[in-house]
Amino acid sequence: MRTREVPERVVELLLAGFNRHRAHWQLAVLRDQGGYQPGKVVHPGDLFGTVLAWLWSQDRDEAAEFVAEYMALLRVHDELVPAEGPLVRFDDVLASLAGCGRRAVDG
């Protein structure tokens, strides 16, 4: 795989756009499946896991901020956040992310 040097501002923009897209996608999936069910694992997808694993291997604080922003998008900032009904819980997202750090180490 080719490695590129990317300016920090470009990385920030790419991560923010990716996060926005994945949160919107997740909310659309939940909506199409009849809505969010508290206690049911919310899996943001393998692409999200891949990006999070890479971030974790680079800077754990940045990885934590990335997940926090994702949760803010899922609960507040996306246009598909339901006006009524339960908001996605962190525990239900966290349950699907447990192996991401290991993926970064294991390849």
How far is the CA of 92 from the CAs of 6, 9, 99, 102, in angstroms? 33, 31, 14, 19
DSSP calls for 34-78: TS--TTS-----HHHHHHHHHHHHH-HHHHHHHHHHHHHIIIIIS
Residue 50: CA atoms inside 13 Å, Cβ hemisphere, count? Answer: 5
Q: Tell me: the pLDDT tens digits for 24-83? A: 999 999 999 999 999 999 999 899 999 999 999 999 999 999 999 999 999 999 999 998
| pLDDT higher than threshold 90 for residue 90 | yes
Please give the pLDDT value at position 28.
96
Q: Where do the domains of the chain lie?
A: 8-106
Under the banding of pLDDT at 50, 70 and 90, the label for residue 105 is very low
Under the banding of pLDDT at 50, 70 and 90, the label for residue 96 is confident
